[in-house]
Structure 1
Amino acid sequence: MSAQHSTLRARRRAQTQRTIQAHAIRLFSERGYDATTMNDVAEAAGVSPMTLYRHFPTKEDLVLIDQHGELIAERIAASPPGQPLARRIGGALVAAAAALAGDDVPAERRTLLVRLQLMISTPALRARHLDNQYALQRAIIDALGDEAAGPDQAFQAQAAAGACLAALHTALVRWAEDEGRADLPALIAKALAAVFGDDTIGRPPIVPAAYRRSPGRRRG
């Protein structure tokens, strides 16, 4: 298979996932998470149950699976090496939030808000969310490359990533509890400053045009 066909296939898969997930989030919001079945989601999305399970093996995945980790990792990998780890990681988290929850993408902003509220209120999702945090921490460390290569560097990277993600989680919970009225990137920056100091982020990160929408819509 050519690279072009492979890329097209990946984009179609990402689009299918977004469509299914959007219907799932809508049903969870309208009917409640426990009252909505996988068959309900498949029917609403216009796909077969087999297709649904191929993209989302479990009901929890309908809420938890996303491509935000890829966006964050790419932002970190593109940031200048040699900066404090908290600045590289924190800057990527703030920039990703600006791309995913900006005023120019109200539907995606609403979906993110409902997903977060579901994660906060549903015990099964809260437990699985910890797995997602670990996977995101691993992706962050991999994106740091040589700066996390040795045992000591890897330990420092793990500590920095863990602290940044804890600050992120605190900001996301506050944002969800406030019904998304606050400025999410500013809230994340405030949480990071509470942990690392006011100069954690430095200048506001610039969000490239290719990332001002969801990761699956990156312009080629």
Structure 2
Amino acid sequence: MSTPLPEHAIDRLQDRLERLPLRERKKLRTRRAIQDQALRLFEEQGYDETTVEQIAAAAEISPSTFFRYFPTKEDVVVTDEYDPIMAELFREQPADLSPIEALRATMREILPQMYETDLDAMTARMRLTACVPALRARTFESLREGTHAVLKELVAERVGRSQDDADVKTFTWAVLGVLQAAMYEWLDGAPIENLPAVVDRNLEFLSRGCPL
């Protein structure tokens, strides 16, 4: 069963982007334009055959500008703007929710926004990541440096522990594991519309201690 897109969640998240300072909105538009051109070229020519110079030319920027937004070619695939939005939504969840329940509530809001605005790009990025070894390696680095670091900070805040607490770090890696499991279920043939439901099911399974 697919998960419906709650309009209030879409509106709230779109409003967050629109409330960014003008300079940040311009940077976001430029970053998305570069990424859109890159994904188009990757689909038309192949990832390895596409150069940064070609992406920059298609986006009407210089290669040096490309590298101001994306440190490497791999980053144009693995980077998005959702970690800060996820953090804001997570912190807004009721204080009596456990970390896993707060995260489930957060994902119920953020995934519809991704579907509404970025479904094609999200699909292309996931397929590329699954097929290109360099992207798989960079995705792991990005998860460790970005999403895992954000989740670790959020979970530590909610439970009143240090970010260096071994249990906090293990918990956040477990969360990323079940999220990746949902991605690979889709890559194995599950309809993309089912992804939010699979993510929620996996997080609920983790909340029960993964009983088998």
8 Å contact kept, 2:90–2:102? yes
Query: Are 1:80 and 2:90 counterparts?
Result: no
Change in 2 beyond 3 A, CA 1:147/1:43: same
Q: Which residue of 2 aligns with 1:166?
A: 177
**1-structure distance, mates of 2:170, 2:106:** 16
Change in 2 beyond 3 A, CA 1:87/1:157: farther
Count of matched residue positions in the alignment of Structure 1 and Structure 2: 189
**2-structure distance, mates of 1:49, 1:180:** 37
Q: Which residue of 2 aligns with 1:36?
A: 50
**2-structure distance, mates of 1:180, 1:131:** 27
Q: Cα deviations across residues 2-56 of structure 1 (Å, max 9, x unaligned)? A: xxxx921111011100010011011111211001000110111111112111111
3-state SS, counterpart of residue 178 of structure 1: coil
**1-structure distance, mates of 2:124, 2:133:** 15
Moved more, 41-50 or 14-23: 41-50
Q: Cα deviations across residues 43-98 of structure 1 (Å, max 9, x unaligned)? A: 11111112111111211011011111112111111111232221112332343222
TM superposition shift of 1:197:
3.6
Query: Are 1:110 and 2:120 counterparts?
Result: yes
1:49 maps to a residue whose letter is P
8 Å contact kept, 1:76–1:88? yes
Q: Which residue of 2 aligns with 1:217?
A: none
Q: Cα deviations across residues 118-159 of structure 1 (Å, max 9, x unaligned)? A: 111111111111122222121122234633443499443323
Q: Which residue of 1 aligns with 2:84?
A: 70
Q: Which runs of 5+ in 2 are unaligned?
A: 1-19
Change in 2 beyond 3 A, CA 1:155/1:79: farther
Moved more, 141-150 or 57-66: 141-150
**2-structure distance, mates of 1:47, 1:34:** 21
Q: Which residue of 2 aligns with 1:121?
A: 131
TM superposition shift of 1:179:
7.4
2:44 maps to a residue whose letter is E
Query: Are 1:131 and 2:141 counterparts?
Result: yes
- Matching of residues 16-27 of structure 1 within 5 Å: 16-27=30-41
Change in 2 beyond 3 A, CA 1:78/1:155: farther
Which of 154, 157, 180 is residue 146 of structure 1 equivalent to?
157
Please give the TM-score of this superposition, normalised by the length of structure 2.
0.80
Q: Which residue of 2 aligns with 1:186?
A: 197
Q: Cα deviations across residues 158-194 of structure 1 (Å, max 9, x unaligned)? A: 2332222111111112224437533221111122233
Q: Which runs of 5+ in 1 are unaligned?
A: 1-5, 199-220
**1-structure distance, mates of 2:83, 2:129:** 17
8 Å contact kept, 2:56–2:63? yes
Which of 23, 45, 59 is residue 45 of structure 1 equivalent to?
59
**1-structure distance, mates of 2:77, 2:163:** 35
1:119 maps to a residue whose letter is T
